[in-house]
Structure formats: C-alpha cells, structure tokens
Amino acid sequence: MKIQRDKLHQYQRRVTVLTDRETAIAKEMLAKGDKKRALLALRRKKYQESLLAKTDAQLEQLEKLTSSVEFALIQKDIVFGLQQGTKVLKEIHAEMGGIEHVEKLMGETADAIAYQQEVSDMLGGKMTLQDEEEVDEELAALEAEMSAGKTALPDAPVSQLPVHERPEDTQEAEPAKQPERVAMLA
C-alpha cells in the first residue's frame, strides 16, 4: 500500500508538470494569435486538473486504509499479548493447585498457629508458685549484681597534661631507627 501511495505521489507530480506545461502552451498560442490551440491547451489542463483531484481523493482513501491496517496490526499485537498473559496466569494458577489447594493451605496454616498458641499457653500457664519465687529471686540477684557493679570511681582530671619538649636532634634520629622493609618472595 505504501508503494501505491508513493506511485500516486509520483503521478501527481507528473500531472502538475503537465498542467504547468499546458498553461505555458496556452499563453504561447495566445501570444501567436492561435486561439483554437490555446483553448485546446486549457481544456487539456482542465482535464489534467480533474485527474489530479481524483488522484487526491484516491490518495486520501489509501492513507485512511493504511492507517486502518496499521491500527489493526497494533490491535492484533495487543490481543496476542493478552492471550499470552492469560496463558501465563493459567499456568501459575495450575502450579498453585487451584483455589481448593490455597484454601486447604490457609486452613493448615491457621491450625498450626492455633496449635502453637496452645503450646505457648500451656508452657506459660504451667509455672508453679515455686517457679515464680525462683524467677523473683533471680531477678533480685541480678538487680543486686547490677547495683554492686556501679561502684564509685574517681573523677577524671580536668586540667591538661604538661607538654614535654623534645630536642630537635632526637626527632631527626627517630626516622633512622625504623627498620627498613624488605620484600619477601612468596
């Protein structure tokens, strides 16, 4: 279709050139005083213009058809994408085992949570009075240990330390004292 469109554009250019040529011929014939030939050239020009108008209408229809086809191709791609997405969703749902499997799994999860809660309640509720007393005694011992660990320490001094100046020759000698590093082969 695009090739046809291009051919119609070429045809329009040729017809435009012909109409311009017929106009020039009509002017030339009028200048020579040949009215019949000028009239014939203008009639041919008029015919070429009518062909040009028909070509414009056909070109417009072709453009509409091309746009419709392009849009239909886009729609086809969208439908194909939707089909692929639906197929993938169905596969995922099949892997999950369906709604019944999910409901069963949710029920099993709720049962496991309830069982764990029962176990926790049993363990929490089985503490005897003796166990409670032991826990209280252990807490009191920990508190005593923590308070004993907080012994009074002396305050740090606030004044600055005295600065001892070094003689310059000892500062220069220090870098020489450092041993040289030797690369070792691994």
Phi/psi region, residue 97 (left: phi>0; alpha: psi -120 to 50; beta: rest), is left
pTM, entire model: 0.41
CA distance 45 to 82: 55
- Residue 79's identity, in one-letter code, is V
C-alpha torsion angle, residues 131, 137, 142, 148 (rounded to 10): -170
pLDDT value of residue 162: 75
Q: What is the pLDDT of residue 9?
A: 83
pLDDT bin (cut points 50, 70, 90) of residue 167 is low
If one compares 80 and 178, the residue with the highest pLDDT of the two is 80
What residue spans define the domains of the chain? 2-83, 97-144
Half-sphere exposure of 103 (CA within 13 A, CB side): 3
Q: What is the pLDDT of residues 110-153, one digit of tens each?
A: 999 998 988 887 776 666 677 778 888 888 888 888 877 666 66
Residues 32-84 pLDDT 10s: 888 898 898 889 999 989 988 998 898 889 889 989 999 999 999 999 999 99
Give residue 76's pLDDT: 95
Is the sign of the CA dihedral 61, 63, 69, 71 positive or negative? negative
Token readout for 97 is 């085992």
DSSP state of 126: T
